[in-house]
Amino acid sequence: MTTDTTSLDAVHLDPTRKHDFVFLIEAVDSNPNGDPDNGGIPRTDPITGQGLITDVAVKRKLRDTVAMLNEFEETPGNDIYVEAGVALNAQHERAYAEGAADGPRSAQAWMCRNFFDVRMFGAVMTTGKKGKWAGRVQGPVQIGFARSIDPVTPFDIGITRVTPTRQEDVDAWNKPDPDDKKNKGKETEMGSKHVVPYGLYKGVGHFSAPLAKKTGVSAQDLATLWRAFTLMFEHDRAAARAGLALRGLYVFTHDDAFGRAPSHQLADSVKIAARGDATARAFDDYQLNVPAEPPAGVTLTTLLPQTQPA
């Protein structure tokens, strides 16, 4: 069963209900999530070879997308707490400077009202100056790792640049000093790019209505979350992320705050299987099966439908 996705009265925007969601991320000749402990190479499960995308990577893109939207639409309450170049202590201390908070409880309430990611994802705001803390918020939106359907094969591709970085290297190359045996200069510089040729990743997330009630989540907040999901790769292009795309977003909405079916059962109902024996190199190499009728008490909203060839 699908629903109207345009109205704020749509079931998938109801913060008083439990929601579980499945998302599909495609990577084509791209690095969906580099591992800083391994030279930036795409993350993989060392046992199965499946690719991984961390929850932190997904939430970073969601935060950046909401911040980008807010620059143009200036929606009150949609500031971002975990923001590049801004100290976290300075952020939650704003509750006392700007919000006239008189303690952790009132500071926490101010942070929830003013910061989208605090309201949705939660935050630990118990650092900084004593008497300027804002407590700990458990967010209603929790996102797990996304894991590729099949093993991926990360490549380390060597690249060259026609000019070096330093002027002294250019000078030494053009006018070599016969007495300087060490510095002969250089004409180009080498680099590398880490990518997977293809990977389709499946991730699962959850929305808790009881926790949303505590942080003050609205229907508009959920609309912003789903919109950020659909846009998060569209304005985050880079040389090693040119082929990232959201290929599916499916929201299972329960008819109450606590849930009518186990979340793992709903996630497992979105099935993805290879069409043949060949190594997948395109989305159409997979057969996607989404349940026509979810369990009783659950409504399925397909926010990003994909047409599969028969």
Residue 278: the pLDDT is: 80
Number of domains in the chain: 3
- Whether pLDDT at 6 is above 80: no
pLDDT in the model for residue 5: 58
Could you report the per-residue pLDDT of 184-229, keeping only the tens digit for each? 677 676 777 899 999 999 999 999 999 999 999 999 999 999 999 9
- How many Cβ atoms from other residues are within 10 Å of residue 83's Cβ? 15
Q: Are 149 and 126 contained in the same domain? A: no
Are both 87 and 128 inside the same structural domain?
yes
**100 lies in which domain range?**
57-137
The pTM (predicted TM-score) of the whole model is 0.90
- Claim to verify: residue 115 and residue 70 sit in the same structural domain: yes
**For residue 306, what pLDDT is reported?**
47
Say whether both 237 and 289 belong to one domain.
yes
Name the percent of the chain lying above pLDDT 70. 93
Same domain, yes or no: 249 and 309:
yes
- pLDDT value at 124 more than 60: yes
In the predicted model, is pLDDT for residue 256 greater than 50? yes
User: Are 11 and 47 in a shared domain?
Assistant: yes
Q: Does one domain contain both 150 and 298?
A: yes
Give the residue with greater pLDDT, 64 vs 8: 64
Q: What is the pLDDT of residue 309?
A: 38
Sign of CA dihedral 136, 138, 143, 145: positive
Average confidence (pLDDT) over 75-94? 94
Task: Provide CB contacts within 8 A for 176, sequence distance 6+.
Answer: 184, 185
Stretch 101-107: mean pLDDT: 95
CA dihedral sign, ordered 196, 285, 228, 252: negative
| pLDDT over 90, % of the chain | 76
253 and 105 in one domain?
no
Looking at the structure, do residues 208 and 304 belong to the same domain, yes or no? yes
Higher pLDDT pick, 1 / 63: 63
Cα–Cα distance measured from residue 288 to residue 147, given in angstroms and rounded to the nearest whole number: 16
Mean pLDDT (whole number) for 155-176 = 78
pLDDT, tens digit, 9 for 90 and up, residues 144-164: 999 999 999 998 888 777 777
- 149 and 85 in one domain? no
If pLDDT is split at 50, 70 and 90, which confidence band does 141 have? very high
pLDDT at res. 179: 64
Q: Is 169 left (phi over 0), alpha (psi -120 to 50) or beta?
A: alpha
